[in-house]
Structure 1
Amino acid sequence: MNQFPPRRPPLDGLRREIARARSEKAAGRSGGFVRKTYRMTREEARATAKEWFSTWPKAAYWTEVESWRPLPGEGDTIEFTMRRLPTAD
């Protein structure tokens, strides 16, 4: 029977990763993704999103509509953010 408590794994790698993520955030980097936020009519927004997907295919660039919201009091205006990887590997 073992009388010693189980050993915990070293946390140095986790500490380094947390520090790296915090420094990137402080420097204004977005975790490797390219993001662009737009404000336009719903029709223009759909066309712009389609253009992103045709220019940077989802399978290769992880292209995504990150957020999409109608702006209250501004008629048919949408604010949305598109996200993609800077390059395809």
Structure 2
Amino acid sequence: MAKPMQPPKMEALKRRIRDHRREKNAGEGMFVRETFCLTREEARQKAREWFDTFPKAAYWTEVESWRQIEGDRIEFTMRRLPSAD
């Protein structure tokens, strides 16, 4: 008799997702990405700083992804073109 499948451990699952995203994005040299984990207010300030420094119209700047984590902290990834050329 086959054993019922066990769900993967959360840390192992997070690691596989992170590794998959890195592999997927390895060929996408077009964008510069930076991930932050800040308090809600600090996250807003950092996003404004990126949009002020790298205007959306020229650099295609955007908040690529975000999530709220414990302690009212926000983990988010900013994305932009390397230059406005």
Aligned-residue CA RMSD (Å):
1.7
- Following the alignment from structure 1 to structure 2, what is the Cα–Cα distance between the partners of residues 67 and 27? 14
TM-score normalised to structure 1 length? 0.65
> Number of paired residues?
63
Instruction: Give runs of ≥4 in structure 1 deviating > 2 Å.
Output: 25-31
Q: 2:17 corresponds to which residue?
A: none
Unaligned runs of 5+ in 1: 1-24
Pairing 1:66-77 to 2, within 5 Å after superposition: 66-71=64-69, 74-77=70-73
Identical amino acids, percent of aligned pairs = 68
Counterpart of 1:52 in structure 2 is 50
For residue 4 of structure 2, what is the aligned residue in structure 1?
A: none
Larger Rg: 1
CA distance in 2, matches of 1:26, 1:67: 15
